[in-house]
Amino acid sequence: MHIIKLTDVSYSYKVPAEDDSYTWQVGVKNIDLEIEQGSFVALVGHNGCGKSTLAKLLNGLFVPHSGKVEVAGMFTDDNKSIFNIRSNVGMVFQNPDNQMVTSIVEEDIAFGPENLGVPQKEIVERVHWALAKVGMSEFARRTTTRLSGGQKQRIAIAGALAMHPQVLVLDESTAMLDPQGRKEVLEVVHSLNKEEKMTVILITHFMEEVLGADKVVVMNHGCKVTEGTPMEVFSRSRLLEEVGLKVPRTIELARRLKSAGWNVDENCTDATELGDRVCQLLHNN
Amino acid sequence: MFRDVTFGQYYPSDSFVHKMDARVKLLLNLVYLVGIFFVVSFVGFAWITLFLLVAILASRVPVRNVLKSVKGVLFLLFFTVILNIFFTKGDNLLVKWWIIEIYAEGLIFAGKMFLRLSYLVIGSSILTLTTTPVDLTHALESLLKPLTWIKVPVHDLALIMSLALSLIPSLINETDRIIRAQKARGADFDTGGLIKRAKAFVPILIPLLVSSFRRAEELAFAMNSRCYEGATHRTCMRVMKLSWRDFLGTSVVLVFFVAVFIVYGTQTTWGTAEQLGWLYF
Amino acid sequence: MSIVAQQLNYIYNKGTPFEKHALCDVNVEIGDGEFVAIVGHTGSGKTTFVQHLNALIRLQSGQLKVGDIDLTEKKTDLKKLRGMVGMVFQYPEYQLFADTVEADIAFGPKNIGIDGEKIADIVRESLDLVGMSESVLKKSPFDLSGGEKRRVALAGVLAMQPRILVLDEPTAGLDPQGKREILSLVKKLNRERGITVIMVSHDMNEVFENVDRVIVFREGKVVHDLPPRDLFRMEEDIVNMNLEIPYVAQFLNSLEKHGITFDEDIRTVDQAFEAVNGLKGGK
């Protein structure tokens, strides 16, 4: 069953031109997309391809100029449902420093439920639950300023979780992190997807990050170019190249060896394993 | 580089004063600030000194840290003292040299001014050393709540304060980064005349402005995503509760300052200022 | 232009409870025309080290010579030094400020006192170096795309005609295409212009594919200083330091364990494929 459904969605930005008039610049164009409840979807594309615009359409920060965005049976152009939609679709943005509302960790996480008018006692429970889910319980009373980038993003995730959403959207939330921070964030969202059956939409241009996804959606110039399982998408390497993306190195090597006649697993993601297999083949003959 | 504005001067501890309610501390600080203006004699200042020592002891903040707060206003203190020494005229001339005349009254007046100003700062810093800026914001919001009746947007103001507190550290980092980046491009902020120096700040201010706007936009998206729509229907996680400490602390402070008021306040109203003469101030 | 650092030590917030020993007896020598990567965990001291190179951080103890400038001396010619060592910060596009791209690129050369008449030529040349056309010269830098802004910022540093280029995570936040463009540009500067390049990076794949030498910082100390192939052979060590092993290195290590080695220096997927495919009998 789908939790989010986009039908022919388009959105453009107003760009001021030289005289007092303005022109329109395409954000996304004619997007059709269904996202299954409980699935892990990766959305990839080069910078400026429209993936962040798409993210903001998912919780009604932007309302489509044409087409419909349906979230859990509600439509984002219906003003009455907007808060219901936003509490259902938690968002985490790119810059960890620009999404904190207060400087105490637990108070920041409480911001969402406070806005929703959740009773005080329940907020405390939600905050503790959310902190535990991102593995940061001991940071409840700390200030946000001296956390690492990865920790800040986990707090931002907890802030979204405290609204009890069904969907979590990460809008390039790993782009500014170091490898350690990226790992932390990915571990948290994967475990949320598995344990809490949370629907996750991960927007990224690190192709290694899409490996664990159920579905990959590739975008270019505001349009959906292709979608499928990670391996299906990686097999369209020419297309990926055209839109400025790259197959992860190990898979690229495996696929090239395979097409040169080596009997290796073309979906191999572990370089050591691939090396072992190559040696095995060499020894056998 | 360590400049954590979020903490301000906050000195982490579990003391009696730390555990008091921020609202109570804020109000008691006001009582103190007003009360200290009734103190007119050195004996009075001795009592205030005792009072401050008790407060500092109860806050378990090292005296050195408390005195550090005076360092910030040292220039102002120095200036006031010098002015008072040279420009207060009286009956007891001590030194006369060229056009400079120093009177005993000037010295005493300057001494009291020094004590009064530094005690103002020390008293307030006990508040800021034991209370985080976040708690102070909450306290202000709670105390000013009645003003919402006359349409003062208390909640919005408090939110702005709290946003500022959380954004300032990253803004400082950003400024630091931009300064370094422009220095690496040969920018010189330290030499040249006033105009040249003012112009040198353009390459810092513009990127800072641009990034502040970007921050503001991203923050607005983040707040909207978390269902923010102003103060309506909002609940609050933080509950502020009064404890025995607040009653005890309040009693001590009030008893002390009522005594101060009785001793000094009455003298003023009876017009003993003239009788006291220069001893008054 | 070579760099010689001996026994560098640096302590932040000396004498306060927040004291932090950021550099500990660092000895590094970098020769003219090298392409070096500096890697290490966040807070390992790598940024502190590179900021010493153009005196953004002043020497506390130890000796440092950059070209013919001795930073140990009290008075260093900062203008000359900063012209010699170009420093590209993380997200350099955030330092753009002028009305036009032209004025922004000219900022650096003007500051270090390059002749006014020459500057116009240098600006055009720098823009050309980063692969942008002259048509953007009169545009506002704020109207460009993210990738273009970064290249303009880079041109602003190149316009100072540095002999040493220090880049702090030059590809952070870019998409794969943008990363490739920046890296090939840096490589070109190194190969064709002989500019010494020092690149701070978190991306070990990027490091493995591009540089000649890797210096690893850990808790303020230099713990490794090796060619990339040798460094990433020590898998356990690398993992312990919380760094990643490049995929191609993993593949080569696995082959080596089975006794298969190659004479050529293999860094990229292409090279790995060609080398393996050249072996007889696997198909």
Query: Which residues have a Cβ under 8 Å from the Cβ of A129 and sit 6 or more positions away?
Result: A161, A162
User: Is the model's pLDDT at B42 over the cut of 90?
Assistant: no
Report if residue A194 sits inside a domain: yes
pLDDT in tens, A92-134: 999 999 999 988 899 999 999 999 999 999 999 999 999 999 9
pLDDT in tens, A183-230: 999 999 999 999 999 999 999 989 999 999 999 999 999 999 999 999
Interatomic CA distance for residues C48 and B1, integer angstroms: 11
Report if residue A18 sits inside a domain: yes
pLDDT in tens, B197-249: 888 889 999 999 999 999 999 999 999 999 998 777 788 888 888 889 999 98
Interatomic CA distance for residues C238 and C256, integer angstroms: 17
Please, which pLDDT band fits residue C13 given cuts at 50, 70 and 90? confident
User: Is the model's pLDDT at A41 over the cut of 50?
Assistant: yes
User: Is the model's pLDDT at A74 over the cut of 70?
Assistant: yes
The predicted pLDDT at position B272 comes to 45
Nearest chain B residue to C111 by CA: give it: B186
Amino acid, res. C57: I
Report if residue A270 sits inside a domain: no
Mutate to test the interface with C, among B7, B185, B188, B208 (most CBs of C within 10 A): B185
The predicted pLDDT at position B265 comes to 62
Chain B positions in Cβ-Cβ contact with residue C48 (cut-off 8 Å)? none
- Answer whether B83 touches C (CB < 8 Å): no
Task: Name chain C's partners: 3 or more CB pairs within 8 A.
Answer: A, B
Q: Which run of H or E residues covers position C62?
A: strand C61-66
CA distances from A170 to A28, A38, A214 (A): 18, 15, 16
The predicted pLDDT at position B90 comes to 74
Q: If you average pLDDT over residues A175-188, what whole number do you get?
A: 94
Query: Which residues have a Cβ under 8 Å from the Cβ of B97 and sit 6 or more positions away?
Result: none
Report if residue A148 sits inside a domain: yes
Q: If you average pLDDT over residues B160-164, what whole number do you get?
A: 88
The predicted pLDDT at position B103 comes to 81
Report if residue A19 sits inside a domain: yes
Q: If you average pLDDT over residues A36-65, what whole number do you get?
A: 94
Give which of B55, B51, B24 is closest to B39, Cα–Cα: B51
Q: Return mean pLDDT, chain C.
A: 92
pLDDT in tens, B123-144: 998 998 898 888 888 899 889 9
- Answer whether C282 touches A (CB < 8 Å): yes
User: Is the model's pLDDT at B260 over the cut of 90?
Assistant: no
- Sheet strand arrangement including A223-228: A89-92, A167-171, A199-204, A40-44, A215-220, A223-228
> Could you tell me how many CB contacts below 8 A there are between chain A and chain C?
109
Nearest chain C residue to A172 by CA: give it: C173
Give which of A221, A204, A217, A205 is closest to A28, Cα–Cα: A221
Nearest chain A residue to B224 by CA: give it: A61
Is the separation of the CB atoms in B148 and B154 below 8 Å? yes
Report if residue A259 sits inside a domain: no
- Between B276 and A171, where is the model more confident? A171
pLDDT in tens, C157-190: 999 999 999 999 999 989 898 899 999 999 999 9
pLDDT in tens, B79-115: 888 888 888 777 777 777 787 788 888 888 888 888 8
> Hey, what are B91's tokens?
């009956």
Q: If you average pLDDT over residues A160-175, what whole number do you get?
A: 96
pLDDT in tens, C215-274: 999 999 999 999 999 999 999 999 999 899 999 999 999 999 999 999 899 999 999 999
By Cβ distance, the residue of A99, A115, A144 closest to B227 is: A115
CATH architecture of C1-76+163-173+195-242: 3-Layer(aba) Sandwich (3.40)
- Say which residue the tokens 């920046």 belong to: C182
Q: Do A245 and C175 touch (CB under 8 A)?
A: yes
Q: Do B186 and C18 touch (CB under 8 A)?
A: no
Interatomic CA distance for residues B57 and B74, integer angstroms: 24
Task: Name chain A's partners: 3 or more CB pairs within 8 A.
Answer: B, C
The predicted pLDDT at position A89 comes to 97
- Least confident segment among A34-48, A184-198, B153-167, C82-96: B153-167
Is the separation of the CB atoms in B240 and B23 below 8 Å? yes
- Between C88 and B37, where is the model more confident? C88
Ordered DSSP codes for A64-122: -SEEEEEETTEETT-GGGHHHHHHHEEEE-S-GGGS-SSSBHHHHHHHHHHHTT--HHH
> What is the pTM for the complete model shown?
0.88
Interatomic CA distance for residues C39 and C152, integer angstroms: 26
Q: If you average pLDDT over residues C129-150, what whole number do you get?
A: 92
The predicted pLDDT at position A237 comes to 87
User: Is the model's pLDDT at A270 over the cut of 70?
Assistant: yes
By Cβ distance, the residue of B178, B183, B186 closest to C83 is: B186
Q: Do B184 and C142 touch (CB under 8 A)?
A: no
Domain ranges of chain C: 1-76+163-173+195-242, 246-283
Please, which pLDDT band fits residue B281 given cuts at 50, 70 and 90? very low
- Answer whether C251 touches B (CB < 8 Å): no
Interatomic CA distance for residues B98 and B121, integer angstroms: 36
% residues pLDDT > 70 (chain B): 91
Q: If you average pLDDT over residues A263-283, what whole number do you get?
A: 92
pLDDT in tens, A14-37: 888 777 788 888 999 999 999 999
pLDDT in tens, C197-212: 999 999 999 999 999 9
Please, which pLDDT band fits residue B275 given cuts at 50, 70 and 90? very low
Interatomic CA distance for residues C134 and C126, integer angstroms: 10
CA distances from C132 to A113, B84, C106, C177, C189 (A): 49, 66, 16, 16, 15
The predicted pLDDT at position B9 comes to 74
User: Is the model's pLDDT at B173 over the cut of 70?
Assistant: yes
A195: closest CA of chain B, how far (Å): 23
The predicted pLDDT at position B230 comes to 77
Chain B positions in Cβ-Cβ contact with residue A148 (cut-off 8 Å)? none
Supply the range of the domain harboring residue A15: 2-247
Report if residue A267 sits inside a domain: no
CATH code, domain carrying A21: 3.40.50.300
B96: closest CA of chain C, how far (Å): 46
pLDDT in tens, B3-28: 444 556 778 788 899 999 999 999 99
Report if residue A42 sits inside a domain: yes
Which chain A residues in 148-177 lie under 8 Å from chain B, judged by CB atoms?
156, 159-160, 163
Please, which pLDDT band fits residue A47 given cuts at 50, 70 and 90? confident
**Structural domains counted in chain A:** 1
Interatomic CA distance for residues B183 and B189, integer angstroms: 8
Q: If you average pLDDT over residues B151-164, what whole number do you get?
A: 87
Q: Do B169 and A115 touch (CB under 8 A)?
A: no
